[in-house]
């Protein structure tokens, strides 16, 4: 097994300053893992037990800190994001705006037409559920006329309303 690499001399002071500025618990644990090794030279198993991290995570934090420095602890990207999106938000806005204009003019907007245009932008076939989720996210909903029987008689219905006992 190779010998442990030493941290830079000013690591303890840097970690103590960072610990005062930290915003999340996860960041605090990472900084503490580096601080404990830099100040007390604790083994990864002991640091893991104290911080609540796994031993593998502690080792990864130490090796990345030695390679990348303080930037590894401070310049971390967020955890969210649109990783599985097919279109950019601007493209979606343009597509929705086009169909919103048609709906505002009194035209019927069909999901099939919307799906074909969506697929043309994406460049391949897309599941109908993806299109319906996009429309639901935009606040669109399916509006259809109430069903009516093909053999209904409006005159008979009006007469029934006039002569019925319930009022």
Q: Phi and psi (nearest 5°) for 7?
A: -80, 160
CA distances from 150 to 89, 147, 161, 165 (A): 44, 9, 20, 27
**pLDDT recorded at residue 36:** 93
**pLDDT recorded at residue 33:** 94
**pLDDT recorded at residue 167:** 57
Residues in the chain: 167
As a whole number, mean pLDDT of residues 66-76 equals: 85
Largest CA distance in the chain: 99
pLDDT tens profile 8-20: 888 999 999 999 9
Query: Does 76 have pLDDT greater than 70?
Result: yes
**pLDDT recorded at residue 144:** 78
| Whole-angstrom distance, CA of residue 73 vs CA of residue 32 | 11
Closest CA to 33 of 2, 1, 72: 72
59-70 per-residue burial string, b: 16 or more CB within 10 A, e: under 16: eebbeebbeeeb
pTM value is 0.51
DSSP of 60-92: HHHHHHHHHTTHHHHSPPPS---SS-SS-HHHH
Share above pLDDT 70 across residues of the chain, in percent, rounded to a whole number: 99
As a whole number, mean pLDDT of residues 88-111 equals: 89
Which two structure tokens, joined as six digits, stand for 21?
């500025």
Enumerate long-range contacts of 120-125, CB under 8 Å, 24 or more apart: 121/87, 121/91, 121/95, 122/86, 122/87
pLDDT tens profile 16-52: 999 998 888 888 999 999 999 999 889 999 999 999 9
Where residue 155 falls among pLDDT bands split at 50, 70, 90? very high
| Whole-angstrom distance, CA of residue 47 vs CA of residue 27 | 15
């Amino acid at each position: 097994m190779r010998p442990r690499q030493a941290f830079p001399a000013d690591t303890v002071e840097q970690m103590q300053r960072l610990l005062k500025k930290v915003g999340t618990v996860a960041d605090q644990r990472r900084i503490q893992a580096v601080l404990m090794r830099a100040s007390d030279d604790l083994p990864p198993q002991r640091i893991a037990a104290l911080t609540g991290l796994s031993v593998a995570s502690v080792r990864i934090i130490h090796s990345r800190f030695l390679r990348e420095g303080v930037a590894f602890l401070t310049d971390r990207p967020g955890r969210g994001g649109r990783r599985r999106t097919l279109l950019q938000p601007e493209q979606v806005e343009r597509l929705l705006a086009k169909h919103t204009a048609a709906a505002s003019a009194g035209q019927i907007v069909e999901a099939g037409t919307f799906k074909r245009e969506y697929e043309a932008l994406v460049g391949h076939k897309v599941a109908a559920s993806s299109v319906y989720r996009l429309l639901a996210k935009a606040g669109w909903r399916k509006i259809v006329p109430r069903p009516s029987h093909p053999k209904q008689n409006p005159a008979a219905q009006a007469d029934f309303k006039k002569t019925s006992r319930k009022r």
